[in-house]
């Protein structure tokens, strides 16, 4: 099997699964229980929180463990909106955010909030000047992702954070789900930052939201006061330990093999650019693990299924919007023509992929397109 859909989810590391199983088996007590067994679980929870904070260069009490990217994004966006609506009800995001961000803002619009959806250029990038121009007296939140999940576009988070700092009443949230372990962001300048476990070889249902000490949120889950009363509910201790292990391993991979991941993407770019039937949509200076391209005239599902027959797996659009109509809203926002927006495919790499795998994929893609063309009489 050649798996090239790592932006949808990743294969859990063996060490991560081992940690999860051990904690689930041995430390199954509720961390909130007052007995010795519960205290042992609580110590492990706080140890994990400390380790996550060290990896992220934040304070332990700024780490809130969640069930993943969708919850983290909703917690940040709705939590800020509901807590600070007395200061203003204007919010800013971009047109190319993940569905969990876009839909959260749309839900807030139904509650009377006013949202500005910033345009992007042809590469999917937000102009920081547009952020500055959009801020009003009643603005309370700006939410921009670090890396676009379809195109791999790296957003200018440092420049945007510098602008937001000029407005003391405005918070900055960054969806860092696709960027963690591949693209660094200035977390010290960000108020809220979302991470997901299953995107970094962890297990599904795990994640973290960094909430700086000066930020107050309206909780989406009320309950027993867990996670500094921001997220009620018994903590998923096996998942939390697994998440932190995955974060550490991902950071190690980034320090050792980031250049190799870039070389793999460059090789893909060069080869795909030479194919007459393929148009590349991703920016040249994109994230090292995502490459988006179109094969005009073919529905992406047809090519995906043809490659699947060869045990090669790629994707189209975001996994969270793959059941929507064929046209990619992200590519539409980049003002690409219809022939591209309805035929886009995405290859997303991990540090586990090899050059040999990509060579097999490229040959299989070329053969699949030729066979489909022959079938259609082209």
Residue 376, class by beta-carbon neighbours within 10 Å (0-12 exposed, 13-18 middle, 19+ buried)? exposed
**First CA to last CA distance, the chain:** 30
Residues 147 and 200: their CA atoms lie apart, in Å, by 14
DSSP state of 35: S
**Residue given tokens 């000066």 in the structure block:** 214
Could you tell me the CA-to-CA distances from 192 to 70, 105, 327, 374 in Å, in that order? 14, 16, 31, 51
Residue 275 backbone dihedrals phi, psi, to 5 degrees: -80, 125
> Is 334 labeled as catalytic in the residue annotation?
no
User: Is 61 in contact with 213 (CB distance < 8 Å)?
Assistant: yes
Active-site hit among 24, 134, 320, 362: 320
Residues 266 and 268: their CA atoms lie apart, in Å, by 5
The pairing of beta strand 2-3 with beta strand 312-313: parallel
Angle between helices 237-273 and 14-26 (to 10 degrees): 170
Nearest to 130 by CA among 159, 101, 105, 168: 159
Phi-psi region at 299: left, alpha or beta (left = phi > 0; alpha = psi -120 to 50): beta
Residues 157 and 178: their CA atoms lie apart, in Å, by 14
Residue 91 makes CB contacts below 8 A (sequence gap 6+) with 77, 81, 105, 108, 113, 114, 115, 116, 139, 140, 141, 142, 143
Residues 240 and 64: their CA atoms lie apart, in Å, by 10
Residue 265, class by beta-carbon neighbours within 10 Å (0-12 exposed, 13-18 middle, 19+ buried)? buried
Residues 197 and 245: their CA atoms lie apart, in Å, by 10
Active-site residues, by number, are: 320
């Amino acid at each position: 099997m050649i798996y090239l859909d790592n932006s949808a989810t990743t294969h859990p590391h063996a060490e991560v699964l081992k940690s999860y199983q051990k904690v689930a088996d041995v430390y199954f007590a509720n961390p909130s229980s007052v007995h010795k067994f519960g205290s042992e679980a609580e110590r492990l929870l706080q140890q994990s929180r400390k380790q996550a904070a060290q990896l992220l260069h934040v304070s332990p009490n700024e780490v809130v463990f969640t069930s993943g990217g969708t919850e983290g994004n909703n917690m940040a966006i709705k939590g800020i909106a509901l807590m600070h609506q007395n200061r203003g009800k204007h919010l800013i995001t971009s047109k190319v955010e993940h569905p969990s961000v876009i839909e959260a803002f749309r839900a807030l619009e139904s509650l009377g909030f006013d949202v500005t959806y910033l345009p992007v250029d042809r590469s999917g990038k937000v102009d920081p000047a547009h952020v500055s121009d959009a801020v009003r007296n009643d603005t309370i939140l700006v939410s921009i992702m670090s890396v676009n999940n379809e195109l791999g576009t790296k957003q200018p988070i440092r420049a945007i954070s510098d602008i937001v700092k000029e407005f003391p009443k405005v918070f900055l949230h960054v969806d860092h789900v696709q960027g963690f372990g591949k693209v660094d962001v200035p977390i010290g300048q960000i108020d809220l930052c979302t991470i997901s476990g299953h995107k970094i070889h962890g297990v599904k249902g795990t994640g973290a939201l960094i909430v700086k000490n000066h930020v107050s949120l309206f909780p989406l889950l009320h309950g027993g006061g867990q996670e500094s009363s921001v997220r009620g509910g018994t903590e998923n201790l096996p998942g939390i330990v697994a998440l932190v292990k995955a974060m550490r391993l991902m950071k190690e991979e980034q320090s050792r093999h980031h250049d190799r991941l870039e070389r793999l993407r460059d090789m893909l770019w060069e080869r795909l650019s030479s194919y007459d039937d393929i148009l590349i949509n991703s920016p040249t200076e994109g994230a090292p693990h995502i490459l988006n391209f179109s094969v005009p005239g073919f529905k992406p599902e047809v090519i995906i299924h043809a490659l699947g027959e060869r045990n090669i797996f790629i994707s189209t659009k975001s996994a969270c919007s793959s059941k929507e109509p064929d046209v990619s809203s992200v590519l539409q926002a980049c003002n690409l023509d219809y022939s591209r927006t309805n035929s886009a495919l995405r290859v997303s790499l991990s540090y586990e992929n090899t050059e040999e795998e990509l060579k097999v994929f490229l040959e299989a893609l070329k053969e699949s397109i030729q066979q489909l063309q022959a079938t259609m009489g082209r």
